[in-house]
Structure 1
């Protein structure tokens, strides 16, 4: 039987099921009746052994010189590179590839370590690795990460992206924000000394300064600050009357800030600001205060009106005194009013004799 083996192919020649030779490109006549058999395969990519153990094929020098064979240990993974380009990850067993028309390479990477370095695996090819073998941690700007390996603190991470092998270790990270954070204590119901129930909203701005020390003390510093401020507010503000509370809102905020700053070293934070945001009064108290406010504004308006009336009367008195002392000024004022009266009159009849101004005055002004 005739066979043609192409340039990119080779053939496994068997005699009664036993591999005898590796044939390459060319034309061949095989006598199958005599127990000969030829199995043809392509010499690219992964080797198709046609069911033969790799050890038998490797005994053929022509085959061994044309392939790359690597055993993948249990604690390693193999990166398969084709012409220098990462193609895939081989997890276990044996890697057997043709090395004829393209350069195949297997790079072993030990996964029993901790940090995945750039020398081990370039960042652009890490997506090829199964996610069960590593953990990816991201630390943003203004954040820090506390790295723990097998339950023990390893180091503090700055902003960046990190990869760690988890094949032989338990790896975890606790992320902390170093930015200014705001805590709101809302709806705190407090009874003043004059038995008025009010609700307060208190704000506290803080920043974590020592995350490692904080990690050893608490998992939630916000809860600690919340409780501390809540108790301080209840203890201190409860001693004020309602009017004192409203008048001294800023002073109370400064007191709370000073008190909570005394514990910032204990909580591993820096307290930047603490103050009362809102004082919410009961409905009846609001109505009473609104009534008082309206009354105060009306009283202020009345005072202003009376002040304006007094000023107007004083101005008229001063004008009258001036006109009494100055006849010309009095006459000009008289003419001004005559002009206004005449503007409202349709027609006026005057005689030709006598002074016109005197006649107008006689018509407009009352006679004694």
Structure 2
């Protein structure tokens, strides 16, 4: 009894006898005795060459078959980009791969993934098809990036987007913000030289100038904070409360000079610093308010005495002038009488004589009566 097998133009047959491969069958019709032990595996030549349960090496002795195949062996540290007729088809991982070259032209680009960064020559249009095989890191415009392979620093990265293979090398990118930043120290308790405990609110602005140096510190911002705290304690601890309050603006100058002395060590440029608030304990605040009130009262008394002295001196000068000048004395009398007249409703005079003399006489009598 015969068994007939037909192989189409876009197919190839693989002839096995009792499980062992013998040769490739070209398109056509083949007949085999059913008891002969022959079997045929039919493969499409538009698909990769794959035989379930069989290794590619089992077919290596068939030169005719190999002439119709493009075979590539990809090492463990490699990937291969597979192109069909100039178009990207797939990414090939470690192993042996074979493709029929009858209808299509195949090209392969080997990439050593021990060098993790994707080659710059890779067409960006291919990237969406490789998303499962690479990872991306972005460095913003205001940042600087530092590249690490297996936790070993490689180089500094400028702003941009970077692509790396997911392979045997661990890739890490650490970013550093290059914008102006600020340290806020709030409610920091400190003791002055005269043992007064106060709370200080302080602010400091800085900018990272050397990202590699800044990344060499663990808990970089915390260490900057500690340095700021130490310098503030150094200054406040050597000042008495009165001096500290009077010279408050000099705290920033002192702290900034101390920080700038270590700017290269930390890779930082310190821009400015300043005291926001000095918060005193309640009892100290009451004492200072009492002292301030007493000072203001003393100033007010001094001003009052000064004005009284000036007024007395003015009266004395006026009296001397009137004593030396009779006309000025008479003018003063008239001025004085004018003021009296403004406050008196009616004045009755009897007898003859000059009006001014009678008024003077009247005033003289009143003054004598009071005496």
Q: Does 1:22 align with 2:21?
A: no
User: How far is 1:27 from its partner?
Assistant: 4.4
Kindly state the Cα deviation for residue 93 of structure 1 after the two structures are TM-superposed: 1.7
* Residue equivalent to 1:49: 51
Please give the TM-score of this superposition, normalised by the length of structure 1. 0.65
Compute the displacement of 1:249 (Å): 2.8
SS in structure 2 at match of 1:33: coil
More divergent stretch after superposition (228-237 vs 148-157): 148-157
Q: How big is the shift at 1:41?
A: 2.4
Within-5 A mapping of 1:204-243: 204-214=204-214, 218-243=217-242
Count of residue pairs the alignment pairs up: 305
- Structure 2: 5+ residue stretches without partners: 297-337, 343-371
The residue that corresponds to 2:76 in the other structure is: 74
Tell me whether 1:186 sits opposite 2:199 in the alignment. no
- Asked if 1 retains the 8 angstrom alpha-carbon contact of 2:69 and 2:98, the reply is yes
Q: For the residues of structure 2 that align with 1:267 and 1:52, how far apart are their CA atoms?
A: 62
Spell out the pairing of 1:29-178 with structure 2 (5 A cutoff). 29-49=31-51, 51-55=53-57, 57-60=59-62, 63-113=65-115, 115-119=117-121, 122=124, 124-125=126-127, 128=130, 136-148=136-148, 153-164=153-164, 173-178=173-178
Q: Partners in 2 of 1:38 and 1:51 — Cα distance?
A: 14
Deviation at 1:123, TM superposition (A): 7.8
Q: Is 1:22–1:63's contact at 8 Å kept on the other side of the alignment? A: no
The 8 Å contact of residues 214 and 268 in structure 1, kept in 2 or not, is answered as yes
CA contact (8 A) 1:109 1:120 kept: no
Cα-to-partner distance string for 1:212-242 (whole Å, 9 max, x where unaligned): 44556x4444344323322222222234444
Structural RMSD (CA): 4.3
User: Which shifted more, 239-248 or 261-270?
Assistant: 239-248
8 A Cα contact 1:14 1:36, kept in partner: yes
Post-superposition shift, 1:197? Answer: 1.8
Deviation at 1:40, TM superposition (A): 2.0
Larger of the two Rg values belongs to structure: 2
Answer yes or no: is the 8 Å Cα contact 1:181–1:206 preserved in 2.
yes
Structure 1: distance between partners of 2:191 and 2:36:
109
TM-score scaled by structure 2?
0.64
Structure 1 range deviating more: 120-129 or 176-185: 120-129
Separation of aligned partners in 2, 1:127 and 1:184? 47
Distance 1:286 1:83, change over 3 A: farther
| Range with greater deviation from structure 2 (80-89 or 93-102) | 80-89
Distance 1:114 1:37, change over 3 A: closer
Secondary structure of the residue aligned to 2:256 is helix
Whole-Å Cα distance in 2 between the matches of residues 294 and 47 of structure 1?
100
Deviation at 1:65, TM superposition (A): 3.5
- Distance change in 2, residues 1:215/1:40 (3 Å): closer
